[in-house]
Structure formats: C-alpha cells, structure tokens
Amino acid sequence: MKKFLLSAMCALLLLPAFAQYKSGLHVENLDTSVDPGDNFFQYATGNWITHNPQPPIYPMWGSFTKLDDDNTKAVAGIIQNISGRRNKPGTVEQKIGDLYKLAMDSVRLNREGAEPVLAEVRKIKAISTREELLKYLTREHDNLLWSLYIGVDDKNATEHIVSIYQGGLSMGNRDYYISKDPEVAKIRNAAIKHYENLFKLCGYSPKQAKKFVKTIWQMETKLAKVSYSIEQMRDPEANYHKMSVADLSKICHNFDWAAYLRDYGYDKTTEVLLGQPEPVALACDMMMKEPLENLKLLYVFRTIKSAAPYLSDDFIAENFDFNRKISGAQEMTPRWQRSVDLVSSLLNDAVGQMYVKKYFSPEAKTRMLELVKNLQISLGERIKAQTWMSEETKKVALDKLNAFYVKVGYPDKWEDLSKLIIDPKKNLYENVVEAWRFYFELDKQKNYNKPVDRDEWQMPAQMVNAYYNPTTNEICFPAGILQPPFFDIAADDAVNYGAIGVVIGHEMTHGFDDQGSQYDKDGNLKTWWAESDINAFKLATEQMAVYFDSLWVIPGELRSNGRQCLGENIADHGGLNIAYDALQMSMKKHGRLPDDNGFTPEQRFFLSFANVWAGVASDQILRYLTINDVHSASHLRVNGGLSQCEYWYKAFDIKPDNKLYVDPKKRVNIW
C-alpha cells in the first residue's frame, strides 16, 4: 500500500451460482485456548507459525512475507533459466542473464573489492571548487542535501512539475538524529559505527573513519533538526508551495536554482513545487557556506554507501550486520535471492512481461475487474448511508468513487529497454550506475514538461503489493499479489471477501482517508467537502488516532503512533465494512453459505481477514517500523481494526468484559 497492500481474487460472482466450493478456512491456524474477544489475532492465527516455520533471513514472517518469498522463487525460475542460456546481444534476455551472472559472480566481486567505487571517489576528491562540485552533482543527478524529481502538480494533476523536497539524511528519518529515546540511540550508535566501517573497507584508517563520520553526522543532524516529521509530511496542503524559480532562489538564500536546474537537464523549468521550505532553504545555505571539503566528504560517503550492495562480500557482510541490529534478522539473504531481487528491480518491465505470461491469465484479470466493481458498489452504498455526511458532499464523493481508474495485473504498454545497456565487461556497480542514468533519461523523456500519463504504472507487475494514487485517482493491483493466500479460487465467498475483499476495500478507502479525501475526482488537491462534513470527519479520525495511540506495539515498552498510521487505519476500517457488506450482497443474490467447522460465514470472513496478517516479528523490526512506517503492526491491524468494527462484535458475540471491547459510543464510524 504506498505504500499500500492489496491482493487478488477471481470474482466468484462470474462463476455458476450452483458451483460448490470448499470453505477455505484453515482451522489448523486457530489457537482456541484464547478468547476471540480478548485477542482475536492470537485466536485466529496463533498456530500459523507452527505450520509455516520462520526462515532465519526474515525478521518479520507472515502470510504476506511468505507470498512474497514464494513469488521471488517463481521470478528466480524465469531469471535463472534465461541466465543459463546463450542470449543474443542487446536482447532483454541478454540483459537479464548478464546482470544476474554479474551479481552472482562472487569471485570477480571479491577480486575487485572496493575498486569499482574508489574510481568514482577519486573523481570526487579531485574537485577543487564549489562551482565544480555543483556541476558534478548535477551531471550525475545526485542531490546531496535535498530531493529533486519530476512529480505531479497536486493542484493541476494533469501536469508534471519539477518537485523539490527535503533530503540529505542518510538514515532517512529525522528521529534517528534528534530523538532521546534509548532504543533509538542504540540504532544511532550502530549507524555511526556502520558508517565508520564502510570507510575502513575503502582503505581509510580507523582514525580517519571516525573523524569523517563525526563531520558527516554533524552536518546531517543540522538538517534533521529542521526536517519535517512523518506526521507533518502526511499533510498535503502543508507540503505544497508552488513558485517561480526566481522566488525559490530568494527563499533559498539566493542559491542559483536557475543554474542548478539548467545543469541538471531541466533547462526549461520556470516553476517548481517546493515541499518543505525550511529544510530545503537550510540545505541551500549549507551548500554555499559549508567548507568544500566537508561537502566533498559527504558526497564520497553517499557514493560509497549507495555502491556497497554491489561490491565484495566484505561490504555485503557489513551491510547485513547493520541490518541485523535494526531488524533482528538472524541470517543474510542468500546471494541468489539478492541477485534475483536486483534483476527484478532494475529490469522490472522486462521481467514483469515474462512473469505475467507465465503466471497471470487473462481470465484472472477479467474476474478481478469484476470483483473491484462489486466492492465499488458496496462502498457507494456505505457512502449513501453515512449519517454524519451531508447529501451535497455524498454526491461529490460518489462522483469520485465512480471516477476511480482501475489497473489490474499489468500495464497495457511495457517500457522500451532497448537503449539500456548491460555490459558484462564492466563491473556490477558500473552497470547499475548506467541503469540509473538510463532511467533518469527515460523519466525525463516521458515526463519533463509533459502531461501526466494515467496509464503509467508505479509498481512492477511482479510485485506483491498494491496502491492507491490520489493525483490520478487510481487503484492498482499488480499480478504478483493476485494469488493465494489472498485469493483461493476454490474457496467460497466468506473467505475470499474476508481476505482479498478487505484489501481491495482498503485501497478504495484510501481515496477517502485523511489524505486522499483532500483530492477531488480529477486528482487535484482541492476542498470538495462541506465545512460541516470536514469537521465531522476530523472528529471521527481524531478518535481513531487517539484509540491507536493507546495500543501497545510491544507490551509495556512501545505504543503505536496513531497519527502516523491514521490513513492506513482508516483504510482498514473502511475495507472491513465494505467487504463485509459485499459478502452480504453476494449471499443475498446467490444464497446463504453454510456453516463450516462450527463457524458461520460471517465468522469465517473475520478469521480470513486475520489470517492475511498472520505471522511473527522481532522486537527490533517492530521498533523500526513504528518509527518509519505508516502502517500499524500486524496484530494491531487485526485487534485494533476489529475493535472498531460493529459487524465483528455481532459475529463473535463480543461482551463488555472482553479485553478488546470498546464501548459503542466510543467506536469510530467513518466509512
């Protein structure tokens, strides 16, 4: 899900009404020693891990992770088969095969050591003036202290615009630099040690490495202090500042943005979209006043850090050691899997085209589109039924719902990769850099000063994920996620609507969550609500945020961040209600489903939903995700989500003395 999570199902409504299906209920996952009203996550999924042992490479292992792991093996079969053949030069098969073999060649990688990146480091160190550094950065399209890309103009969603956002933090999140939390401090110290080790692997002495990292960390901390938090970044209006390039330069201490954009290749830029003025202004000031050697040092470090995954085993081991401290992973991902992930990522359209031919049928796409339509009908009925929303706003909301652009499986047009060169004579890092350059030019060619192409996909077809995009008002479900356990074509509607149905409803609800609701049916950031509806909506969403703030991610140690995860929690809330209503509509049309193993169809709906999030997670990864992710922890998505769902109380006869019980007056009613 952004971003968002989704999954697939073939719409059973297309099949004969008299067809017989198995229940699809996995009773072996149940932990019946637990009362469902006290801990539904444990009750529904407590024994899932017994039947699905956790591989030591995964710090978080569950239904979703297992599907992703299985899918990686399927993609590996395609890539490894190609790499084992002689392929004609210049073909996509040659590119796939040679890139995979380069990544797998540990002998060559270890022989080359740090030299591939040191060749670039020497060029950076030879820079003698600030002006030369700026030209070098723009030529390499490497933004040292900010982020720059071609984005969509949120208030004119049919057009692209050069967008400038805060950046410059190696750790990404400002909290790692300024938080006083002891657990965060542990990660901060581990990061500093990790950065020192990367310098030492490049031949620098321990004393030099320590000095270098101290300088780098001081620069990044300075930026972190004015950077926006994740919660602040979730406010679209507060992160929208459209202006001329001349005005941008004035805000940024007279930094010459016109020259920077010209040298960058965006020479026809007259207006830009500035996201966060304060950190970007400070970054520009630093770029002009920070000692040149400090800026060069930071650039050297960023280059080494970005190159590390494509170098020798020493670098790979160092990266894993740091990742282990953050996530709790017990073993390194095997080389074949890392290599497959690299090829699938760097040549995603080439691999995706082959993947859908083998694993995704036209029938599945047709049925998925039908199911999405059924869920749209259900959401439409729920919008009409809301008592807190005015009739005027309901009409506009329905217009937006009906305008959803639905993408299923794979794009109608694949990227032309004929000009992307993978040269086996060059080292792996050189090939990766050349690919990055290719994609920059491709993006520029397609999007710079060009209208938005709504047919363009933001995820590879083989990816196990899905998303809602507010500026195109689209919901997208790649082929990779359209398979079990999210959909079982042999199972009945109760299980399928509880799994894939909820996730489809989740994506739809993103169009009406605290962020998506600020965009109209055409994708423009624009107020389309009556003021009274906005106030009622904010009251309900604040209630949701406060409730999730009270929940424990790690009992007695770490609570959830309800505001950071608000959009996802609203989407789960809507997804549950929408899919449940759709199940009732289906049974009304085709007849009520029988009970199975003592469970009603309604109970199996909720058990199926919970099993989408079955699994376990280390304390380390839970802490990491609580700081960085906008999704609640899996057990809270189940227990917290269901505690706000009226239908669940009725299905399992939840009583006031149950631990998950929330007083009806305090339950959230949004979608």
By percentage, how much of the chain surpasses pLDDT 90?
89
pLDDT at position 107 over 70: yes
DSSP annotation string for 151-180: EE-TTSTTBEEEEEEE---TTSSTHHHH--
Residue pLDDT, tens place only, 27-73: 999 999 999 999 999 999 999 999 999 999 999 999 999 999 999 99
Give residue 20's pLDDT. Answer: 52
Rounded to whole angstroms, the Cα distance separating 157 from 519 reads: 10
Give residue 240's pLDDT. Answer: 97
pLDDT at position 1 over 60: no
Residue pLDDT, tens place only, 8-20: 323 322 333 334 5
Grouping H, G, I as helix, E, B as strand and the rest as coil, residue 617 is strand
Rounded to whole angstroms, the Cα distance separating 639 from 646 reads: 13
Rounded to whole angstroms, the Cα distance separating 626 from 561 reads: 7
Residue pLDDT, tens place only, 549-578: 999 999 999 999 999 999 999 999 999 999
Residue pLDDT, tens place only, 455-476: 999 999 999 999 999 999 999 9
Structure tokens at 53: 């042992």
Distance from the Cα of residue 392 to its chain's centroid:
34
pLDDT at position 21 over 70: no
Give residue 4's pLDDT. Answer: 29
435's CB contacts (< 8 A; 6+ apart) are 346, 347, 420, 422
The secondary structure element, H or E, covering residue 486 is none
DSSP annotation string for 249-281: HHHTTT--HHHHHHHHT-TT--EEEES-HHHHH
Average pLDDT over residues 101-109: 98
Lowest-pLDDT range of 6-15, 269-278, 312-321, 391-400? 6-15
Mean pLDDT of the chain: 93
440's CB contacts (< 8 A; 6+ apart) are 141
Q: Is the pTM of this model over 0.85?
A: yes
pLDDT at position 25 over 70: yes
* Cβ burial, residue 203 (10 Å; 0-12/13-18/19+): exposed
Give residue 294's pLDDT. Answer: 98
Check whether the bond before 451 is cis (ω within 30° of 0).
no
Average pLDDT over residues 486-491: 79
The sign one gets for the Cα dihedral 197, 199, 202, 203 is negative
What the chain holds in terms of domains, given with CATH numbers, is 26-69+355-411+457-666 (3.40.390.10), 118-333 (1.10.1380.10)
